[in-house]
Chains A and B, each alone.
Chain A
């Protein structure tokens, strides 16, 4: 044991105050670490790491055509993550954004499916509003279960996502299936006025990106500048102190979930009324789950989330590229997402702690 006791062992020691430098460095370090680990995995799978890295990380920036697709993917991720982050800061863990997204898409599709002839400039804005309503309604079930029945919101919101996916299947295989769609599980193609107008000509980027940016600014004002945001954060950091100060916990849960649900529902509506143009089974490629990672990677801060949403969108488009050019299964993107969040959680530990090397013998003393 004597040789061992002389060795130095790392110990995490709490900092007196959080380190700003570590806060800012953590996301890029996590990104770099996750990239290295995943490239290593691709080598093990027998892929050329240089080709994959080129396709995944560089190609999305090399042409306007592919960068506009990055912007298109950024929209839903950014919107959902902003909504979720507000809840996460209040310690309300809504992980059912995927389900709220699906309900938003379904609600928005009701107009073009039921009224395929409807025309006028009002159609797509009303669809977006309906989408936000659908997402909020779906989230309100979770809020009710949590506030009135004391049920865990993580489990309830996740179960509701699985139900929402089945509901979407039911509609697309049953009442909402396009009768002229060669039996594919999808709705009719939407009419012209049911589509969000294109923002940048020659791309698929539409007006909803402006909406997303506006809502990001609203989230920043709400969380950083307003009394409501302050109350939510205090409720999350110190629930007891908040309740002594007269801040109602139930109110914070309702507000967090409704904001999150609205944002996810709006994103779902913008997806069907934007790039897709119809309700399909594959309306979401895991946006609701990816947005959880986007929210954390952005430090739950509205500005950080803008940057992390862009990064995650690059990963999605890059993953598509790598699937085509380097024959990489698309599941690799999910592996990357998971390991990215893990790397971030390790990196962010150094905001509150610093590493000290202590003699093992010193450590084992009682």
Chain B
């Protein structure tokens, strides 16, 4: 297997934690809320899933627990940031610290234990194509997250719910005046974002690297938030961005496997360096951010 085949085959799986968390954060931000706690929500989901799967609960139950747990934690964010109108940046950071702390606390006795991952399912015919065939052999979560990407894109493009969420993010006062409950929709969006972050953490902990280590989320939640900016709040671009980061995080492994004489720490910091670089390039075009950006992002809503 050469490096290109290796990256193509693994890219989607590596991209999935980024993609799931970023899709959740996209919905949250489209509703006008900035939740910076994604890293902690992912870590919390990851530990819940790992504990359940390790005790024989199975992957399905693990994902459900992760989604529910992170949703509950994200509702704590919603109550404080939306109910008590606290600073969203500070509240998000606090949820992040709390989530990572809880993850370390619950995961303490599972350090370096492993679980079984999920089997890969190949699409007939497509998976037999040479070179790119690996792209079509994926586990079920990857297929589901592709479906989720499409569903979220379609929801924003074609449905009334999508329109209401966008209106509330753009101009909450107007949306309220027409009779939509801004706070209810924002609570729902935050809970959805929390669930997706929980799934993302679960995927990282029990499918992608089925081994528990404290801090195993390793900044993926933050990169997911950056992905929403890279994608200029558009679903398709976020998907492409997640694939880019999947590829970048595999590049380190591919380079090491091919015996390239580069310090492993440089390869490990590659995703972070790429994030900094791309963030600079995309943000420098202020029109691009303004065009698709969410007008009232991060601002508390008062009637």
Answer yes or no: are A and B bound together in one complex.
yes
- Which residues from chain B contact A174 at a C-beta distance below 8 Å? 263
- Contact mask for chain A residues 152-180; partner B; CB cutoff 8 A; 1 contact, 0 none: 10111011101100110110011000000
Residues from chain A with a CB closer than 8 A to the CB of B179 are 366
Q: Contact: A163 with B279, CB < 8 Å?
A: no
Mostly, the B contact residues are helix
Of chain A, the residue at the smallest CB distance from B282 is: A151
Among B85, B105, B263, B286, the residue within 8 A (CB) of A12 is B85
Complex Cα gap A150–B281 (Å): 9
Cα A352 to Cα B302 with chains together (Å): 13
B265 in the interface (beta carbon within 8 A):
yes
Cα–Cα, bound, A366→B266 (Å): 58
Tell me, rounded to whole Å, the shortest Cβ–Cβ distance linking A322 to chain B: 13
Instruction: Closest A residue to B107 by CB, please name it.
Output: A331
Query: Is A338 engaged at the interface, CB distance under 8 Å to the other chain?
Result: yes
Give the distance in Å from the alpha carbon of A166 to the alpha carbon of B280 in the complex: 21
**Contact between B265 and A149, CB atoms less than 8 A apart:** no
B90 touches A331 (CB 8 A): no
| A331 with B219: CB separation less than 8 A | no
Q: Are A167 and B86 in contact (CB under 8 A)?
A: no
Selected contact of A159 from candidates B275, B281, B302, CB within 8 Å = B275
Contacts of B191 in A (CB 8 A): none
Which stretch from A71-79, A239-247, A302-310, A342-350 is at the chain B interface?
A342-350
Query: How many chain-A residues does the 8 Å CB contact rule pick out?
Result: 48
A43: B residues at CB distance < 8 A: none
Chain A minimum-CB-distance residue to B226: A155
Q: Complex: how many Å from CA A292 to CA B86? A: 15
Q: Are B91 and A345 in contact (CB under 8 A)?
A: yes
- Which B194-232 residues have C-beta < 8 A from chain A? 214, 218-219, 222-223, 225-226, 229
Q: A166-B269, A341-B90, A345-B94 are in contact. Are A329 and B105 (CB under 8 A)?
A: yes
> Does A95 interact with chain B (Cβ within 8 Å)?
yes
Map CB proximity to A onto B82-98 as digits: 1 under 8 Å, 0 otherwise.
Answer: 01111101110111111
Q: Which residues of B contact A169 (CB under 8 A)?
A: 265
Closest to A331 in B: B104
List CB contacts (< 8 Å) of A314-362 with chain B: 329, 331-339, 341-342, 345-346, 348-349, 352-353
Tell me which of A12, A150, A173, A292 contacts B84 (CB under 8 A). Answer: A12
Alpha-carbon separation in the docked complex, A156 to B277 (Å) = 9
Interface centre among A159, A346, A352, by most B CB within 10 Å?
Answer: A159
A333 to chain B minimum Cβ distance, whole angstroms, is 8
Contact across chains for A152 and B93 when beta carbons are under 8 A apart: no
Are A338 and B86 interface neighbours, CB within 8 A? Answer: no
**Quick check: A149 and B229 within 8 Å, CB to CB?**
no
**Do A155 and B84 contact each other (CB < 8 Å), given the known contacts A293-B97, A338-B94, A339-B98?**
no
Residue of A whose beta carbon sits closest to that of B103: A331
Is the beta-carbon distance between B101 and A155 smaller than 8 angstroms? no
The reply to whether B265 and A155 form a contact with Cβ atoms under 8 Å apart is no
Is there an interface contact between A337 and B101, defined as CB atoms closer than 8 Å? yes
A152 with B279, Cβ < 8 A, contacts A162-B272, A341-B94 known: yes
Q: Is the beta-carbon distance between A145 and B276 smaller than 8 angstroms? A: yes
Q: Is A254 part of the contact surface with B, judged by Cβ < 8 Å?
A: no
Question: Shortest CB–CB separation between residue B91 and chain A, in angstroms?
Answer: 6
Are A335 and B222 in touch, CB under 8 angstroms?
no
Inter-chain contacts of B85 with A (CB < 8 A)? 12, 349, 352-353
Q: Provide the bound-state CA to CA distance between A338 and B226, in Å.
A: 23
| A223: min CB distance to chain B, Å | 18
Q: Are A167 and B89 CB-contacts (below 8 A) given A149-B280, A150-B286, A341-B97?
A: no
Given B76, B95, B105, B219, which contacts A332 in the complex, CB threshold below 8 Å? Answer: B105
For the complex, is A93 an interface residue (Cβ under 8 Å from B)? yes
B100 contacts A334, C-beta separation under 8 Å: yes
Q: Is there an interface contact between B302 and A14, defined as CB atoms closer than 8 Å?
A: yes
0 or 1 for each of A91-134: is its CB under 8 Å from B? (1 = yes): 00101000000000000000000000000000000000000000
Q: In the complex, what distance in Å separates the CA atom of A329 from the CA atom of B47?
A: 15
- Contact between chains at B263 and A159 (CB < 8 Å): no
Closest CB of chain B to A100's CB: distance in Å? 15
- The answer to whether the Cβ of B20 comes within 8 Å of any Cβ in the partner chain is no
5 nearest A-B residue pairs (beta carbon): A338-B98, A334-B101, A331-B104, A335-B101, A341-B94
Residues of chain A whose beta carbon lies under 8 Å from any beta carbon of chain B? 12, 14, 93, 95, 141, 145, 148-152, 154-156, 158-160, 162-163, 166-167, 169-170, 173-174, 289, 292-293, 296, 329, 331-339, 341-342, 345-346, 348-349, 352-353, 366
12 contacts between A and B (CB under 8 A): A145-B279, A145-B283, A151-B276, A155-B229, A174-B263, A334-B97, A334-B98, A338-B98, A342-B76, A342-B95, A345-B94, A366-B179
